[in-house]
Amino acid sequence: MIAILFGLAVIATSHAQGLAGDSLTLQSILFSGNRQTREEILLRELLFRPGERYAVADIAWRLNESRRLLENTTLFIETCVDLCGISDNSFSLCVDVRENWYIYAAPIFELADRNFNVWWKQFNGSLRRVNLGVDVIHLNLTGRADVLRARLQFGYAQRQDLAYEMAQLPHHPNWGAGIQLSYQRNHEILYTTRDNRQVFYRDDDRWMLRRTFAQVYVTWRPAQVWHHRLSAAFRRIAVDSLVRTTLNPRFFPHQGDELGYFSLAWTSSLDRLVDRPYPFRGHAVQFDVIKEGPALTGRRSRMWINTMTTVYTPTGRYHGFEWQVRSRLHLERRDMGYHDYTAMGYGGNNLRGYELYVVDGMDFLILNAGWRIRVLKADIPMPLPRWTLFEDIRLMPLLLYGSVYSDHGYVHDPYYAQDNPLGNRWLSSWGVGLDLRIYYDKIFSVMWSFNQLGENGIFLQSKFGFR
Name 412's bridge partners. Answer: 363
Phi-psi bin for 298: left (phi > 0), alpha (psi -120 to 50), beta?
left
How would you class 424 by CB atoms within 10 Å of its CB: exposed for 0-12, middle for 13-18, buried for 19 or more? middle
Q: Distances from the Cα of 241 to the Cαs of 155, 277, 300, in angstroms?
A: 23, 44, 19
**Comma-separated ranges of CATH 2.40.160.50 domains in the chain:** 103-464
pLDDT of residue 176: 94
Phi-psi bin for 213: left (phi > 0), alpha (psi -120 to 50), beta?
beta
Contact in structure between 349 and 288 (CB atoms under 8 Å): no
pLDDT of residue 126: 93
Number of alpha carbons in the 13 Å side-chain half-sphere of residue 330: 20
**Which CATH superfamily does the domain covering 2-99 fall into?**
membrane protein fhac (3.10.20.310)
Q: pTM for this one?
A: 0.81
What is the rounded CA–CA span in Å between residue 168 and residue 195? Answer: 47
Choose among 272, 269, 278: nearest CA to 370. Answer: 278
CATH classification code of 103-464? 2.40.160.50
What are the φ/ψ torsions at residue 143 (nearest 5 degrees)?
85, 5
- b/e map 325-343, b = 16+ CB within 10 Å: bbbbebeeeeebbbbbbbb
What is the rounded CA–CA span in Å between residue 284 and residue 269? Answer: 7
Contact in structure between 159 and 183 (CB atoms under 8 Å): yes
What are the φ/ψ torsions at residue 139 (nearest 5 degrees)?
-90, 0
Name 201's bridge partners. Answer: 189
Please give the average pLDDT of every successive group of 10 residues along the chain, which has 467 residues: 47 45 87 91 90 90 90 87 86 91 87 91 92 94 92 95 92 92 97 95 96 97 92 97 93 88 97 88 96 87 95 94 97 88 92 95 97 90 62 75 97 92 96 90 91 93 65
**Comma-separated ranges of CATH 3.10.20.310 domains in the chain:** 2-99
Contact in structure between 93 and 81 (CB atoms under 8 Å): yes
Name 136's bridge partners. Answer: 105, 150
